[in-house]
A and B are shown apart, each in its own frame.
Chain A
Amino acid sequence: MKPAPFEYFDPKTVEEAVSLLREHGEDAKVLAGGQSLVPLLHMRMARPEALIDLSRVQGLEYIRETDGVLAIGAMTSKRAVERSGLVKRRQPLLHAATLLIAHPQIRNRGTVGGSMAHADPAAEYPAVALVLDAELRAVGPDGERTIKAGDFFVSYLTTALEPAEVLTEVRFPMPADGTGWAFREVSRRHGDFAMAGAAVTLSAEGAGRCTEARIVLFGVGPTPIRVHGAEQMLVGETLGQALLELAGHRASEDLDEPLSDVHASAEFRRHLAEVLTRRALAEAMARAGGG
């Protein structure tokens, strides 16, 4: 399983990277951590003529808090995110999701930006971006722009990035104090891609009435999916077991035909979506309001 031949470039700046992408167009592929791309190269399912390696581009590895936002450079490794005290303290959902990604050796090389740009429907980070309402910054021939997570994940392995655009940063708004959260998935083995997963954030008032709910399901469609119908059922209500069950049903029903593969049928994925929604909501509720 050896790759087909390609030309290799390691630009030192984002501008250089953009320029190379422009030059080679569809014949180019960006190499970030390589944990998703390199197997495809080996199987010759990806056959770029030019490989643009971003690992020498300066200034894309950082985790910092600015203006109520956690900003992570696109080439930051998942391992760095895992080990970041800042992330653990201030973005616990992101931290929890990171621990479920594959294994340490993969996280050592895999990057935040790479995961977002690859947009595997069963991957954790796109779901995190969607549930936290992240913003993704990209630089292209026409300059810099910001894309909201809701607009970023377009379809199966397809994002809103233009061919010559490079993802430079992901910005996660800091959650308000007392926000409940949960991140759960069901996979065949520890570390495998999820057959289905749910990411939830929840805010509640003192009396336990929900003021805001965001529910994202992943692994059950071509992109991570916000299930607005189920969310709306919860706002203004006190979250008891019966309501959670209804929300789970609604989330599951609102899915278009989920994926079907050797690990899980569409029917089973739809069912898991319901179970995970309910369980994630219960977990998030327990955490909400400083619980």
Chain B
Amino acid sequence: MAVEIPKRLEDLPTSSPRWVGREVKRIEDPELLTGRTQFIDNVVLPGMLHCAILRSPLAHARVASIDVSAAEGMPEVAAVITGEDALRWSFPAASSPEGWGSHCLATDKVRFAGEPVAAVAATSRYVAEDALELIVVDYEPLEVVADARKATESESPLLFEERGTNVMLQRVFTWGEVEEVFREADHVFTEKFRWNRVGANPIETFGVISEWNPVDGSLTCRGSYQSPSFMGLGRSASLGLPSNKVRIISQPHGGSFGGKGGGRGTDITALLSRKAGGRPVKWIEDRMEYLTAGGSQAWDRQYQASLAVEPDGRVTGLKVELLDDLGATGEGFGSISAAKPLSAFTGPYTIGVAQYDLTLVATNKLPASPYRGMGPPPHNFVLEQMMDIAARSLGIDPAEMRRRNYIQPDQFPYTIPSGNEYDSGDYEAALDKVLEMAEYRELRRQQAEAREQGRHLGIGVASTIEPGVFDWNSYAIVGMPGVGVPEGATVSFDILGKVTVRVGFSLEGQGQYTLAAQLIGDYFGLEMEDVRVVALDTQSAPPHFGPGGSRLGVALTGAILGACERIKEKLVKLAAVLLQTEPGSVELMDGALRVKGMPEAAIPLAQVVGAMLARSDLLPPDVDPRPEATFVWTAPGRTPADEEGRAKSYLTAANACHVVLVEIDAETGKVEILKYLIADDCGTRLNPATVEGMTQGGVAQGVGAALLEEYVYDPEGQLLTSTFMDYLLPTIHEVPMTEKAALVTPSPFSPLGAKGCGEGAIHAAPAAVMCAVNDALAPLGVLATEVPATPNRLWKLIQGAKSLSPGD
């Protein structure tokens, strides 16, 4: 029986939603506020040991010998493992691209500074770290490959000798008659850009407790996992275990943003538990470990981009050449960040042809991981700077430049050259809204005045797409297989009419449990307190992925409403019997089952549920006695990617326009953000506070990426930014308080017309801030092409301009 997921709020069986779309208190919050939520480090198991990991001080070296006898001899030490154990009990981790993974502990060589070489399980973390100091490792240094471009050259030392190259992938994707368009273009603008490594840094690092069962060879892992099923599959492969013998229990966790990591930590603690006869082994990653060797780094990129532009500012073609330094292995799945830009390659613009010359290379740095936004934040930074470069050259105002290139509302669904389809949007409305909020003309006047006083004010206008609801086909070009990302939920009534929802993921911060309560509350006419959400482990959960790729709000809505529709069908059949009519005449509305057109002939929902469980004599033969249903939702209409990577991938396309006003102190290079305004459109806003929270959080990360955050390596592959003293997260002083306006252009394809919004503002913020910086610098004739725009970098640029200007 086909289930129709409601496409609009009006389709919900309620005359007026009390919860969905409104400001509600989060059901997760009281426990979080009182410190009761069970983050992984709160969990203590009987006989539990604590793990510490010995890490390579060198970025590239052979492991000649390793002596753990002194560590093993400590009475508080229960087990020590090395690469020998890894070879015996595990396989190289899955990677993307395939074939670029390694064991969880170095077996013959180390490929990045911080790579695990040995691990200890002891009675406390303190003692485990003492034991590490007794392990003696003999390294034979190898030449370090720290420069991405040099790593692509044929004479370069190799990280994986058997691969014969450091280049993990090199392909040019051509979508349309690119050469012809660029040949015939009136203007071609070309520029190079450098985006330095940044990354997730949730305030909670990764943590795990692994427990090996020696009797049946199964593994149970509790941890701060963003995607339990994905992690479980990965461990099944790396540890050579049947998939139904790996049980992943995801604890509520302190943020992830794609960069929690956890593969190696899980494998290492699993092996330690095995060696320790099955005792649980806990590892809590410390912050230095996270920064140096965790899921912490992303987007180490060198770009060259070209724009083909008509005299009136219409952009006819986009070429992007990207050298992406993925670090030592593909185990972090950082490669998918290079693939995701295909889902919105040409932004909100009607650019007809495009080309992507992509090189993924390995170097002796930390393997790159995903980070919120996945790849578009740097890509959009490049695209939006190119739009401004063209605008400045042609004498067109940057806002006008966007306006002349927007896809129009009547052109949706719109297929972009790289293959994805945007569902809906009104980009000009967002632009108009934010320009109005910003009093844009007045800002330009203020800027002109300031310039006369010798001050450097800049205004940035950035317009971006946030693809929502990811699909595996988005990453086909880096070898990820499959189409469709299922998300399942089980909705279950008890005999008294209260509801439990069972899902496969745990809390991460986006308020999905609250969303579940909102949806079920409105669907069945319940209070939010009548709904409780329970996270199941991978052994019992329905198919799921969990949060990621701005999908879960939409996917969970689909799963829950699908389950609700199935329950409704059963309830309608039973209610028809109770109301002595045909099922076709019965409807669910405002928490009651009633005869259509006769609202007084109604039975409260709880009564029907109770009857289902307590009056088997009344049940029709084709209704099973369970007021419960499971529904697994996948995005409709997804297609496999073709040879050029084109596919209908991300289901929804939210959009936003950011306007930023900055002032640069030319003497110190410091950038102050004076104003920050946002108009965003993510379709139906299921929980407005959640959307605003995602937006403001994305702005903070985007500002951090643009101005503060950078992982710096020296030529020997040593990380110079290995603490929070040097990797600088924005504080309340650095993050602008933003003015936000919401537009709503529902998706015609998604549940309730909602679009994914979890990554939102980070897609636009770095681009917007850098557009403002470059707008401020424009009169000096210089362009900031490297991110982050640190005071030192900006000062050097400005100095360069001064030395060139005549008559100083």
Q: Interface residues, chain A, CB within 8 Å of chain B?
A: 1-5, 39, 43-44, 186, 188-193, 195, 261-265, 268, 271-272, 275
Contact = CB atoms under 8 A, between A and B. Distances in A.
Interface of B: 125-126, 129-130, 133, 286-288, 667-670, 708, 710, 712, 720-721, 723, 725-726, 728, 730-731, 733-734, 790-792, 795-796
A238 B40 CA distance: 66
Given A1-B288, A195-B791, A268-B792, A188 B130 contact: no
Nearest to A265: B792
A278 B710 CA distance: 31
A191 B731 contact: yes
Given A1-B286, A189-B734, A275-B668, 11 more contacts: A2-B129, A4-B130, A44-B129, A186-B791, A189-B733, A191-B731, A192-B728, A262-B720, A263-B726, A263-B790, A272-B668
Contacts of B129: 2, 4, 44
Contact of A264 (B126, B730, B734, B791): B791
A9 B562 CA distance: 66
Given A188-B728, A190-B731, A264-B791, A2 B125 contact: yes
Task: Give 5 nearest A-B pairs by CB, closest first.
Answer: A190-B733, A2-B126, A1-B286, A275-B667, A268-B792
A264 B792 contact: yes
Given A189-B734, A190-B734, A271-B795, A262 B668 contact: no
14 contacts: A1-B287, A3-B126, A186-B791, A188-B790, A189-B708, A189-B733, A190-B731, A191-B731, A262-B721, A263-B726, A264-B792, A268-B795, A272-B668, A275-B667
Contacts of B725: 193
Nearest to B126: A2
A186 B670 contact: yes
Contact of A189 (B130, B723, B730): B730
B267 to A, nearest CB: 22
Nearest to B730: A189
A5 B130 CA distance: 8
A270 to B, nearest CB: 11
A1 to B, nearest CB: 5
Nearest to B729: A189
A241 to B, nearest CB: 14
A15 B605 CA distance: 80
A272 B669 CA distance: 10
A271 B726 CA distance: 21
Contact of B731 (A189, A261, A272): A189
Contacts of A188: 708, 728, 790-791
A190 B730 CA distance: 10
Nearest to A47: B133
Nearest to B732: A190
Contacts of B668: 186, 272, 275
Contacts of B133: 4
Contacts of B667: 275
Contacts of B792: 263-265, 268
Point out which of B130, B288, B668 has the most chain A C-beta atoms below 10 A from its C-beta: B668
A261 B725 CA distance: 12
Contacts of A189: 708, 728, 730-731, 733-734
A186 B668 CA distance: 8
A39 to B, nearest CB: 8
Nearest to A193: B725
A261 B714 CA distance: 11
Nearest to A275: B667
Contacts of B720: 261-262
B791 A268 contact: yes
B282 to A, nearest CB: 14
Nearest to B795: A268
A275 B792 CA distance: 14
Contacts of B791: 186, 188, 195, 264, 268
Nearest to A2: B126
Contacts of B126: 2-3
Nearest to A276: B668
A221 B37 CA distance: 47
A251 B63 CA distance: 51
Nearest to A264: B792
Contacts of B287: 1
A1 B287 CA distance: 8
A57 to B, nearest CB: 28
A39 B722 CA distance: 13
Contacts of A186: 668, 670, 791
A262 B133 CA distance: 29
Contacts of A44: 129
A263 B668 CA distance: 13
B288 A43 contact: yes
Nearest to A192: B728
A190 B734 CA distance: 8
Contact of B712 (A1, A2, A262, A268): A262
A272 B665 CA distance: 12
Nearest to A272: B668
A2 to B, nearest CB: 4
Point out which of B133, B731, B792 has the most chain A C-beta atoms below 10 A from its C-beta: B792
Contacts of B708: 188-189
A186 B126 CA distance: 38
B733 A268 contact: no
Contacts of B286: 1
A191 B733 CA distance: 10
A141 to B, nearest CB: 33
A277 to B, nearest CB: 12
Given A190-B731, A275-B667, A262 B726 contact: yes
A147 to B, nearest CB: 29
Nearest to A4: B130
B424 to A, nearest CB: 40
A188 B668 CA distance: 10
A273 B545 CA distance: 53
A104 B712 CA distance: 29
A272 B708 CA distance: 18
B796 A268 contact: yes
B114 to A, nearest CB: 14
Contacts of B669: 268
Contacts of A3: 126
A44 B286 CA distance: 14
A274 to B, nearest CB: 9
A39 B287 CA distance: 12
Contacts of B125: 2
Contacts of B712: 262
Nearest to A274: B667
A263 B795 CA distance: 12
A193 B726 CA distance: 10
Nearest to B793: A268
Nearest to B727: A262
A196 to B, nearest CB: 9
A3 B795 CA distance: 40
Contacts of A268: 669, 791-792, 795-796
Contacts of A272: 668
Contacts of B731: 189-191
A268 to B, nearest CB: 5
A195 B792 CA distance: 10
A188 B731 CA distance: 11
A5 B730 CA distance: 34
A263 B723 CA distance: 13
Contacts of B710: 262
A268 B798 CA distance: 12
Contacts of A195: 791
A5 B795 CA distance: 46
B672 to A, nearest CB: 11
A195 B720 CA distance: 16
A96 to B, nearest CB: 17
Contacts of A263: 726, 790, 792
Nearest to B667: A275
A1 B286 CA distance: 6
A219 to B, nearest CB: 13
A11 to B, nearest CB: 25
